Structure 1
């Protein structure tokens, strides 16, 4: 969302150097709405030549949402601009100029974000393409200083279809062939939106910040920046710094256990206990419980207890080990341990596994909710508390 200056005091903007008046970026000069014309006069006085209808037409015709020169600087200037609007949006797309160097100062007049007090910071181009409630007085002030013919020329050029590029420079353009519906192939060349260049630059800057002793840990990744042009003003004066191509290498894929631990530390489900022997012992315990209803003695009862105790002990150790791993992971990555959810119960740990046939699942669930298993769980907790 555009910046909205909030300065209650009204003061005449002090005349400053040209860089503070002609710019593609915010200048830090809040302006009362009724004094915008004064700001335009200061900007006009910085121009070494007048802004004519011919210049305005040239600026508009060479402004677009996609600049083909970003792919190759050898593109002919008359075939370097595309203008697309999102068909699902109710606003026209942002555009940038791609003009020759002598026209850049004029672009810095019409593309400068005006910081009108109490309103979003918008340029003259923004007010023409996507007018809002304070666009009319701003455009009237522009026409008062530069002429109504200039404003109408810009309106006609920006609100009509731009010229269609008819040729591309050779060498750098990727070519992709896709099948046509009626047969044959269609050749296409992808071109990125012009504002994406500075957007990408702002996005990757934090990855190269130096870590501060008491500050948050900067994001990191394997990034390589390669400057392929030191004169981006030949493409667009609104693009600052060298053009950059980068290589982002994805980190290796996590193993299943690592992924589950990562998800758990960030509030997800508890990792599964992936030991195939557990299913065998749970079903064996279920068989022993069924046999105990018809035949039991001291030896079979002791074996039943030992089997339940083994399942409880091993599951409890898995829970404790996983919690320890989760706390270590959270400490390494500076994650608040309070975000780690409570672990599931022993019975839930034992039942969360593929059982193959539904009847095996039913047998396992019945065994793990049996009075005998509940009794062994209770005695196990009593023993643990006594040892503690």
Structure 2
């Protein structure tokens, strides 16, 4: 059994006071390791970190580590990028917080990077690394940076500070091997700009954290684990060539667009959500209305002609009412089965209004309007609506 002394050093529970040195992976790490510290213990923790390095670092070492750190890593696209042409620092314009930084260094520099990128767990405060304290100072930053300078030297702190605060590397060339996608963007004044996408650290690590639940094993009697079409793909046989802060495999997923709704389906969905009533697009409507208008213009004193005129109007009205009932049924089904809409549908149009909403050519518009607003059609419409209400 192991306890902790007031200064945070591990001691055995038998009271002998013998110090137990923590493992190197617990001290030099890019991750939170469960080592809570007070401000007084910071200097001792930095001494412990320094003791686990192969040699005492000099200011140039910290400057090199800082210059090799940024928000976007070129090596996520190709591990062949040169060490001084492999990181970018891009601040997002749509938020106030700073982007996540990660180092992209040669393997010998990774232990030193773990000193300045390790999240220090100050009791009562969120974990922050030395780099975090330099980029976003808070009430504990002065004490933390002073403890760092006391162990590694003020020159090392200043070398780290100046490199972190500066613009970072300037990418002027890419590896000759064509591994980068190229996008051409048009210029407002003509011509185009050649753009090369680069992966941000935050997306790579955040995506892995977000998708972690999709890979959890299903436990017996536990709620179903979400699944999807996800795969894990190795980034590199030597992940440290990309960044010591990025581990594990790259995760990919397949996203498929939902099938495109047909015109009628999309219109019914809009109506269920409170939109306009769908258009009646039956091809037989147009010739039927024109034929009705031609018959209406004749002298229909003959009984058979009057019956024929009534049948033509009734046929149009019954077809429109059947379409209205079909739309209302489908819209209610969307609500009942899929929860789309409130269930309270807007009032449907009258059959005459439904027919008039169709797209009519210029030559047809006037005769169609005359036919559908005629006293005869309105009378047959009133009769049909009264009959449907009964």
TM-score in terms of structure 2 length:
0.70
Query: Secondary structure of the residue that 2:244 maps to in structure 1?
Result: coil
- 2:339 aligns with 335
- 2:307 aligns with 302
- Using the TM superposition, give the Cα deviation of residue 107 of structure 1 relative to its aligned residue in structure 2, in angstroms: 3.9
- Using the TM superposition, give the Cα deviation of residue 145 of structure 1 relative to its aligned residue in structure 2, in angstroms: 1.3
Say whether residues 1:84 and 2:99 are aligned partners. no
Counterpart among 139, 142, 162 of residue 140 in structure 1: 142
- Using the TM superposition, give the Cα deviation of residue 71 of structure 1 relative to its aligned residue in structure 2, in angstroms: 1.0
- 1:354 aligns with 359
**Mapped partners of 2:141, 2:378: distance in 1:** 79
Query: Secondary structure of the residue that 1:275 maps to in structure 2?
Result: coil
Residues 93-127 of structure 1 show CA distances to partners (whole Å, capped at 9, x for unaligned) of: 44321124454455455445678899887654345
**Mapped partners of 2:32, 2:379: distance in 1:** 72
- Using the TM superposition, give the Cα deviation of residue 69 of structure 1 relative to its aligned residue in structure 2, in angstroms: 0.8
**Mapped partners of 1:114, 1:335: distance in 2:** 48
- Using the TM superposition, give the Cα deviation of residue 301 of structure 1 relative to its aligned residue in structure 2, in angstroms: 3.7
**Mapped partners of 2:321, 2:147: distance in 1:** 80
**Mapped partners of 2:216, 2:328: distance in 1:** 33
**Mapped partners of 2:347, 2:196: distance in 1:** 52
Say whether residues 1:159 and 2:161 are aligned partners. no
Shift in CA distance, 228/104, structure 1 to aligned 2, threshold 3 Å: closer
- Using the TM superposition, give the Cα deviation of residue 61 of structure 1 relative to its aligned residue in structure 2, in angstroms: 0.8
**Mapped partners of 1:210, 1:287: distance in 2:** 73
- Does the 8 Å contact 1:23/1:112 carry over to 2? yes
- Does the 8 Å contact 1:228/1:243 carry over to 2? yes
- Does the 8 Å contact 2:230/2:251 carry over to 1? no
Shift in CA distance, 175/378, structure 1 to aligned 2, threshold 3 Å: closer
- 2:384 aligns with 380
CA RMSD of aligned residues (A): 4.7
Query: Secondary structure of the residue that 1:77 maps to in structure 2?
Result: coil
Query: Secondary structure of the residue that 2:264 maps to in structure 1?
Result: helix
- Does the 8 Å contact 1:63/1:95 carry over to 2? yes
- 1:256 aligns with 263
Say whether residues 1:319 and 2:321 are aligned partners. no
Say whether residues 1:278 and 2:285 are aligned partners. yes
- Give unmatched runs, 5+ long, in structure 2: 1-5, 11-21
- Give unmatched runs, 5+ long, in structure 1: 1-11
- 2:16 aligns with none
Counterpart among 239, 246, 255 of residue 239 in structure 1: 246
Q: For structure 1, which segment, 165-174 or 178-187, has the greater mean C-alpha deviation from structure 2 after superposition?
A: 178-187
Greater C-alpha Rg? 2
- Does the 8 Å contact 2:29/2:115 carry over to 1? yes
- Using the TM superposition, give the Cα deviation of residue 55 of structure 1 relative to its aligned residue in structure 2, in angstroms: 3.6
- Using the TM superposition, give the Cα deviation of residue 314 of structure 1 relative to its aligned residue in structure 2, in angstroms: 1.4
- Using the TM superposition, give the Cα deviation of residue 146 of structure 1 relative to its aligned residue in structure 2, in angstroms: 0.3
Say whether residues 1:198 and 2:200 are aligned partners. no
- Does the 8 Å contact 1:225/1:244 carry over to 2? yes
Residues 27-75 of structure 1 show CA distances to partners (whole Å, capped at 9, x for unaligned) of: 78999xxx55646754764562367534421221111222111111233
- Does the 8 Å contact 1:223/1:248 carry over to 2? no
**Mapped partners of 2:9, 2:367: distance in 1:** 85
Query: Secondary structure of the residue that 1:345 maps to in structure 2?
Result: coil
Shift in CA distance, 108/178, structure 1 to aligned 2, threshold 3 Å: same
- Does the 8 Å contact 2:216/2:225 carry over to 1? no
**Mapped partners of 2:116, 2:227: distance in 1:** 37
Residues 111-165 of structure 1 show CA distances to partners (whole Å, capped at 9, x for unaligned) of: 4567889988765434534x4xxx2433202222101444432221022232334
**Mapped partners of 2:123, 2:218: distance in 1:** 36
- 1:4 aligns with none
Q: For structure 1, which segment, 92-101 or 17-26, has the greater mean C-alpha deviation from structure 2 after superposition?
A: 17-26
Shift in CA distance, 298/15, structure 1 to aligned 2, threshold 3 Å: farther
- Using the TM superposition, give the Cα deviation of residue 327 of structure 1 relative to its aligned residue in structure 2, in angstroms: 4.5
**Mapped partners of 1:355, 1:288: distance in 2:** 19
Say whether residues 1:96 and 2:91 are aligned partners. no
Shift in CA distance, 99/15, structure 1 to aligned 2, threshold 3 Å: farther
TM-score in terms of structure 1 length:
0.70
Shift in CA distance, 183/254, structure 1 to aligned 2, threshold 3 Å: closer
Shift in CA distance, 371/52, structure 1 to aligned 2, threshold 3 Å: farther
- Does the 8 Å contact 1:62/1:81 carry over to 2? yes
**Mapped partners of 1:171, 1:107: distance in 2:** 29
